[in-house]
Amino acid sequence: MNLSKFFFFTLFIILFFGVPTSGHAQTNKVPNANPDRIEKRILDLSKFGKNASGGTSRVAYSDSDVLGRNYIKSLMVNAGLKVRVDQAGNIIGRREGLNPSLPIIMFGSHTDSVPDGGNYDGDVGVMTSIEVIEILNLANITTQHPLEVIDFTDEEGGLVGSLSLTGRLKSEALDLKSHSGFTIAEGIDRLGGDHKNLANAKYSKDQLKAFIEVHIEQGGFLDAEGINIGVVEGIVGIHWWDVIIEGFANHAGTTPMDKRQDAMITAAKMILAINDVGLNTPGRQVATVGRIKAEPGAPNVIPGRVIMSLEIRDLDLSKMEIIFEDIKARLLAIAEDTNTKVRFEKIEIASEPAPTDIRIRKIIEASAKKLGLSYKYMPSGAGHDAQDMVHIAPTGMIFVPSRDGISHSPKEYTSPQDMANGADVLVETILNIDNVKGES
């Protein structure tokens, strides 16, 4: 970095985080993360809910989830953390700082899985966070700020733990059934939480200095390009629509091909058009049709009605709106050309775009550079607890490679060294954030 760039970067950090303090107490150089220790703990955790495919089915609130969480608590205790379970069932391990009046630097992820999932999604973020504590202990470093390591409740079933932490979990969600068969309310209580007092799990903005999450990429870009670290720019927004196509149901044997109002033919052309807009519009957006239903659904009847899904994802809300309008125009033209009708029903906003904090992105980048690790800026196309934490704390995310981009599968894999790289960047990022004084 040349002198002018260094000056502006330093000024940028000072303007937003404040002037440097005297630093954290330390006696030794910061050691590197231990890849073998991280991998062993990943494999030990994988025993809870292990399935025949070699992955795990440690779904939230299940017996295997309870056992896995007990294992996580034991690791936290052995690392010297003061461990508690909050009202939402989140496991939080605290390490006191030199200045108890300063806000908390929080970091972590989740250890519940999807059914028939893998051993790295979420787990890597928790294990690298515990590894950070091990590193600080070994180096005899005490940070200015208190540190909290968190294992969020039920990320895969709807971000229950992080929504509770931010005070955004809807009360009606508590009655929903989870994959384990328990309702969310029953599950929270089963993990040691208290669903009747979820308000007490909420953190205010002045309690947190920052939140950082390490996660496997769940895509193939880092792996394919041989890049060590992903600096996450944010978690994409997800919007869903039902696209309803109205044709005319008629006898498939007696209606000539040129006299049909076939809603399925219209749908087929529309699916190709949606793909074309998503593929050929400049940017990183994605547009997907993942569900389709033809009515009346008989092999000898021309479909008179088709309902299909439309999902659009992007990090920029205005770009999502542009993509939808382009798709809508294309689909209306197709409907007119095929003598059918189409309408759009917005069924849900699954999530709005959640950009990460620019200051923390820069700190993660600087940490990777200091460690000699390659990096790239990139969005997250999947949801994470970090997307909720942006509402109450400056938030950053660190990606490590997923082999072949495989995730939510027993075949997902991240190497020990890649996990260790994530831990090394995480500890450098935390120490960098800790070493500048900001207001709570």
Burial class from Cβ neighbours inside 10 Å (0-12, 13-18, 19+) for residue 71 reads middle
Nearest CA among 35, 30, 31, 32 for reference residue 419: 35
Nearest to 432 by CA among 23, 150, 133, 106: 23
Nearest partner of 331 among 261, 250, 276, 258, judged by Cα: 276
pLDDT score at 350: 73
φ, ψ at 321 (rounded to 5°): -65, -40
User: 250-251 and 301-302 as β-strands: parallel, antiparallel, unpaired?
Assistant: antiparallel
Has residue 297 got a pLDDT over 60?
yes
Q: In which residue ranges of the chain is CATH 3.30.70.360 found?
A: 237-347
DSSP 236-278: PEEEEEEEEEE---EETTTS-GGG---HHHHHHHHHHHHHHHH
DSSP assigned state of 142:
B
Which amino acid belongs to residue 362?
K
Q: Out of 6-15, 105-114, 321-330, pick the least confident.
A: 6-15
Residue 3 clears pLDDT 90, i.e. is over it = no
Specify burial of residue 408 (Cβ count, 10 A radius: 0-12, 13-18, 19+).
middle
Ranges of CATH 3.40.630.10 domains, the chain: 14-235+353-434
In this structure, what are the phi and psi dihedrals at residue 221, rounded to the nearest 5 degrees?
A: -70, -50
Query: DSSP for 326-377?
Result: HHHHHHHHHHHHTT-EEEEEEEEEEE--EEPPHHHHHHHHHHHHHTT--EEE
Is 165:388 a contact under the CB 8 Å cutoff? Answer: yes
pLDDT category at 29 given cuts 50, 70, 90 is confident
> What is the per-residue pLDDT across 125-148, written as a single tens digit (0 to 9) for each?
999 999 999 999 999 999 999 999
What is the pLDDT at residue 24?
Answer: 59
List the CATH code of the domain at 14-235+353-434.
3.40.630.10
List the structure tokens of 156. Answer: 């895969």
pLDDT of residue 17: 53
pLDDT at 25: 56
Angle in degrees, CA 185, 237, 180, rounded to 5: 25
Q: What one-letter code names the amino acid at 107?
A: F
User: What phi, psi does 78 have (nearest 5°)?
Assistant: -65, -25
How confident is the model at residue 435, as a pLDDT?
87
For residue 401, the SS3 value is coil
Please determine, for residue 20, whether its predicted confidence score (pLDDT) is greater than 60.
no
pTM of the shown model: 0.86
Question: Distance between CA atoms of 250 and 247, rounded to whole angstroms?
Answer: 10
Provide the CATH topology of domain 237-347.
Alpha-Beta Plaits (3.30.70)
Peptide bond into 20 cis (omega under 30): no
- The token pair at 140 is 């005899």
Could you read off the pLDDT of 199-255 as tens digits, one per residue? 999 999 999 999 999 999 999 999 999 999 999 999 999 999 999 999 999 999 999
399-408 residue pLDDT tens:
999 999 999 9
Average pLDDT over residues 164-179: 93
Binned at pLDDT 50, 70 and 90, residue 78 comes out as very high
